[in-house]
Chain A
Amino acid sequence: MTSARAVSLVAKREFVTKVRTRSFLIGTAVIIAVLAGYVVLQSVLFDDQQHSVVGLSGQATQLTDPLRDKAKAFGIEVETRDVTTAGDAEQQVRDGSLDALVTGAPPELKMIVKDSGNEVLATALNDVLRQQVLTAKLAEAGIKPQEVAESLANARVAVTALEPVDPQRGQRLAIGLIVAALLYYSLLVYGTMVAQGVVEEKSSRVVEILLATLRPWQLLLGKVIGLGAVGLLQLLVISTVGLGLSSAFDVIDVGTLGGTALLTGVLWYLLGFFLYATVFAAAASLVSRQEELQSVLTPISMTIIVAFVAGINLMIGSPSGTTVTVLSMLPPFAPILMPGRMALGVAPAWQVLLAVVLALLAIAAITWLGGKVYANAVLRTGARVKLREALRL
């Protein structure tokens, strides 16, 4: 039997067993539900700000068209309704079916809102009123209002930005944070899963049968590949659903930005997983029972958590700062920080390349070292194996 067949058999078992478990199915469903909820909430909030229902009563109804046009120029959509009785309309404002009620006769209007008024709407309304007053006065003075309007439109400052703000910055930041969060989740969850698998084999002693027919590295590699594939599958399902929902609800411009983020996310997931999974497996091989697992995993989990928490804060604050730049190139932090910075568009190609090369070197070193620890410790049941002993043998 070839090594490739041995590794693929192990990987297949890990993949099939894990994908079939209820925890995987439920976990994925929950994440998708949370994501969908977030997207829908975002789009509802967004819509709320962009869309107002305004009731107009009495003489105010003549403002319907100019108000709608003005509001559109400000980027919000106004739906107007003519109301006959002000009392009823006030009640409608109170229960939320109207966002505002405009009464009175121009130029003295009253706007009634529930708690705080929509500022854009108020500005639009003011503009409309002023326009009307201006038009009336100009007409009185015998000047054509249209000429004045044209002159006004032409009078503007030409602005040249030396460091222009990326109009997509908000979206980029959102995507960067989501990518970092997903990678953080995947590395932590699937790394822990590898560790639990190692201890399960050790505590159930099945490892003794397996190692009578497999070499330790084949078992380790198969396990890492199998569970890594499960993590990748979940990552892809979540991202695809997330991107699909986002584009359906117009929350972010999916197009190239989302696609690139997905690709870099997958690349860094693979690098990060191979880097961390072997460490998780080696640490787990030192203990014999699930209860002891937490103590050996804590230092590794902490590294990932620190990378995430500190990295996210730095990234929001100053994504090009020295600290975050250096950290994002160092192997333990790169899998979480670099994809975030890449999504933000602040990582030059040489930094990405350097981070990838360093990560690959680290993977080679860690796999060699971790494989050695695993091979030495995995058959030693009972008391916790000291790391120094596992390395020395």
Chain B
Amino acid sequence: MPEGVLEIDRISKRYGEVVALRDMSFDVRAGELFGFVGSNGAGKTTAMRIALGVLVADSGEVRWNGRTVDLDTRRRIGYMPEERGLYPRMKVLDQLVYLAELHGMSTNEAHTSAENWIARLGLRDRRTDEVQRLSLGNQQRVQLAAALVHEPDVLVLDEPFSGLDPVAVDVMSQVLREKASAGVPVVFSSHQLDLVERLCDRVGIVSAGSMVASGTVDELRSSGEARLVVESPTTEWAATLGGVRVIERNGTRCVLELADGVDDQAVLHAALAAGPVHEFSRQRPSLTELFRNVVTIEGRSA
């Protein structure tokens, strides 16, 4: 049973004048699904390619179980690149067997494992077809099988869900969960934030080449300023309280942002003093909102 941590430690990468990564750090632990989100060009793909040794970082280091990753440990990683890559004129089975062998399996093991993943991912009828003859969705399944066929100790998947139909999304989610619960650290990037929120144990938000927030979804959501949703006939009272800002008003409903140290009970008292209160709740931002916040803040400072 693979047990270990994949650590990305302060890696930086420049392309000429452009800084792609700036001291990016995060780790993925055994049995954990780590979601990697960020806008296009934030550096997700670069970070993953560096982890796989396909790119060389200018500084920083990638470690597996505390040791710097080399070619032998890389063979134990399952990788799905953002730009899908398979031999277009090679048959599905041959292709998977070949990739399994390249990752160090014996020919027999490779065959068994390839057949196994072909069956798991519903490609049995297609096993002797050339990859280029498959539908896009099926090509994606083969791509996933290619990342899994050598039973890797770590999974690094770049946008595994893009271009998948809902059924395939379910299959993919299930496989990733299963791998994680078998003790494999799984890191994947995605733009489908609701999916990340539902699936991941921890999430990292990347912007302009650095990790700007990371933690469990709950941690991330409860971070930041506290917000209250209050429904009462008037909202004039709110303006009289120190440290409270009305950020949204919609009929009789308003969203308040509380500065640090402001007691929400004091807010409730003030509201009740002004009139009847029909709703009073704490609002936690969704991952999408968090993401939008982070990205716009970074965008402004950049």
Contacts and interface: CB of A to CB of B under 8 A. Distances in A.
A148 to B, nearest CB: 81
A205 B71 contact: no
B201 interface: no
Contacts of B102: 6, 9-10, 210, 213-214
Contacts of A214: 102
B97 to A, nearest CB: 10
Contacts of A318: none
Nearest to B88: A204
A209 B85 contact: yes
Contacts of A208: 49, 54, 79, 81, 83, 85
| Interface residues on chain A, size class | 20 to 34
Contact of A379 (B54, B88, B89): B54
A206 interface: yes
Interface in B89-140: 89-90, 98-99, 101-104
B81 A209 contact: yes
A200 interface: yes
A13 B77 CA distance: 22
Contact of B55 (A1, A17, A213, A379): A379
Interface residues of B, number: 27
Interface string B31-62: 00000000000000000010011110000000
Residue of A13, A208, A213 contacting most chain B CB atoms (<10 Å): A213
A347 B299 CA distance: 73
A215 interface: yes
Contacts of A10: 102
A10 B90 CA distance: 14
A178 interface: no
B146 interface: yes
B71 to A, nearest CB: 7
Contacts of A162: none
A118 B125 CA distance: 70
A213 B75 contact: yes
A161 interface: no
B85 A206 contact: yes
A207 interface: yes
A26 interface: no
13 contacts: A9-B98, A10-B102, A17-B90, A200-B87, A205-B81, A205-B83, A208-B79, A208-B81, A209-B86, A209-B146, A212-B79, A213-B75, A214-B102
4 closest residue pairs by CB, A with B: A205-B85, A206-B85, A205-B83, A212-B52
